[in-house]
Amino acid sequence: MTDDHDTDASEAADAAPDAPRSARVPDALAGRRFDAVLAELFPEYSRSRLSAWVKSGDVLLDGATVRPREAVRAGQEVVLTATLEPQVSAGPEDIPLSVLYEDAEVLVIDKPAGLVVHPGAGNHTGTLVNALLFRDPAIAAVPRAGIVHRLDKDTSGVMVVARTLQAQAALVAQLSAREVHRQYLAVVVGALVSGGTVSEPIDRHPRDRLRMAVREDGREATTHYRLQERFRAHTALECRLETGRTHQIRVHMAHLRHPIVGDPLYGGPLKLPRGASDELATALRGFKRQALHAQVLEFVHPATGEPVRCEAPLPDDLQALLRELRTDAAAHAVTGTGARR
């Protein structure tokens, strides 16, 4: 999986605990397998990690090592003694972050366009992960430096990062249950007349490995969209993700034949309104990234259970593009001129 996409973490986080933890087997779990009981007692850790700790002797039952399938009795003491180990190999870098919300459990940032989320091929430094490690060195103990969902390199906007293993597991569970509200602003080609829903499966393009595509054998993907503002040959849409597939909004809009302005992979040829001013033509030609911004993120706080809502303001380049589109629409409101290539 590449790091240049908008997607969710696919499984709960794995990491070692920061100190020995203990629990008693409750009556309700008596007679069940040891590994199944552990998953109930320590839900913040994945089953595969817990099973590995049992086999390595890092989890004890009444002071002794036992097999994962061993049946337990009510009242027995479980002690988890695995030692903390770094989960991220990247190094810290002093990269400024725009923070929208922060506490001991989570960090919500406004990611700028151009910032890669995670180190990968060709992007070993200068990433969001490097910035997070500088801001909070302890986050190195959390898998993927606490990242539970990603944005494309050139998509701007709001992202939540978990600062603890427990917070990461809770946020991943919310994403998997589709309980996180993710709202985007997209400027697309074409003057749409109504909103709608795209429910088309997405997977890797059969020939171009850099692209995704709508495919019958792909993974379920659903995007809801509604009109926010219409221009002569473009539309600003509010898009809401129900799933989080790679490049999902970009692929779905292109599938509707309304690709996102500036999208280098799915955008197609430049389209100018008839009689467009030099300023608008320059703005459209000069917009070299997808005009897509993660505007709103809502989730349940993993520790308090309270709702958290964060909104990222529109970046300057997107505001400038919208201003030119509005100016063009107003100037041609009487003439009713359309679009030209």
Task: Point out the residues that are catalytic.
Answer: 152
Which one, of 183, 195, 258, 257, lies nearest residue 229 by Cα?
195
Ordered DSSP codes for 259-316: PBTT-TTT--S--EETT--HHHHHHHHH--S--EEEEEEEEE-TTT--EEEEEPPPPH
Beta strands in the chain (DSSP E): 21-24, 59-61, 77-80, 99-102, 106-111, 156-162, 181-189, 196-199, 202-204, 212-214, 222-230, 234-241, 272-273, 292-300, 307-311, 339-340
Burial of 278 (0-12, 13-18, 19+ CB in 10 A): exposed
Helix (H) or strand (E) holding 205: none
In which residue are the tokens 């999208």 written? 263
- Is residue 211 within 8 Å of residue 259, measured between CB atoms? no
Strand 156-162 vs strand 292-300: parallel, antiparallel, or unpaired? parallel
What DSSP character marks residue 322?
H
All residues at 6 or more sequence positions from 265 whose CB lies less than 8 Å from its CB, including other chains = 210, 211, 247, 250
User: Tokens representing 303?
Assistant: 């520790």
CA torsion 244→249→255→259, rounded to 10°?
Answer: -160
In which residue are the tokens 């709508």 written? 214
Helix (H) or strand (E) holding 251: helix 248-255
The angle subtended at Cα 125 by Cα 121 and Cα 129, nearest 5°, is 95
